[in-house]
Amino acid sequence: MSARTPLEIRALRMLARREHSRQELEQKLAAHRESCGTDELAEVLDTLEQQGYLSEQRAVEQIARTRRARFGSHRIVHELKAKGIDSHWIDNILPTLKETELEAALSIWSKKFDHPPVSKEERGKQVRFMMNRGFSLETIRQVFAQVGEAST
């Protein structure tokens, strides 16, 4: 077994805290590669993937698990794309996110608002809040239907 490089040790420390996508870890490590080249960084990342320390699937699952109680599927998908996650992994996790989206939307709505909207202005405010959290208009309509929206 060979000794680990400083870059590899830094990567392992980051991965010990939480899962990272390959692109995200590469961006973070790029600032610390003064003593090594781009090839060594790619080699370190390849080694970590082969050893099972770096996994896109685990990163996707962790992000989805931690975010789905506070955000809708649109926002989570946007965040996954921003972290450089391949669309294959996003497509795999999307059905799971959709299953729990209405529950999450109801929970978030009830924490923020204590009554259904009674005016167009109030409805607009609630819709904007929920859309900023990443929920689709259809999900928001379902929330309003379940909480017994007054007149719109």
Is residue 110 predicted with pLDDT exceeding 80? yes
pLDDT by residue (tens digit) across 6-54? 888 899 999 999 999 999 998 888 887 666 666 788 888 999 999 999 9
Is residue 98 predicted with pLDDT exceeding 70? yes
Kindly provide the b/e burial profile for residues 34-62, where b requires at least 16 CB atoms within 10 angstroms of the residue's own CB.
Answer: eeeeeeebeebbebbeeeebbbbebbbbe
Does domain 1-54 fall into CATH 1.10.10? yes
CA distance 20 to 58: 8
137-147 helix and 120-132 helix, angle to the nearest 10 degrees: 130
Residue extents of the structural domains in the chain: 1-54
Average pLDDT over the chain reads 89
Alpha-carbon torsion 93, 96, 97, 98, what sign?
positive
The confidence score (pLDDT) of residue 149 equals: 59
Work out the pLDDT band at 2, boundaries 50, 70, 90: low
pTM above 0.75, yes or no: yes
Alpha-carbon torsion 22, 55, 94, 75, what sign?
negative
CA distance 82 to 90: 12
The confidence score (pLDDT) of residue 4 equals: 80
**Contact partners, residue 30, CB within 8 Å, separation at least 6:** 41
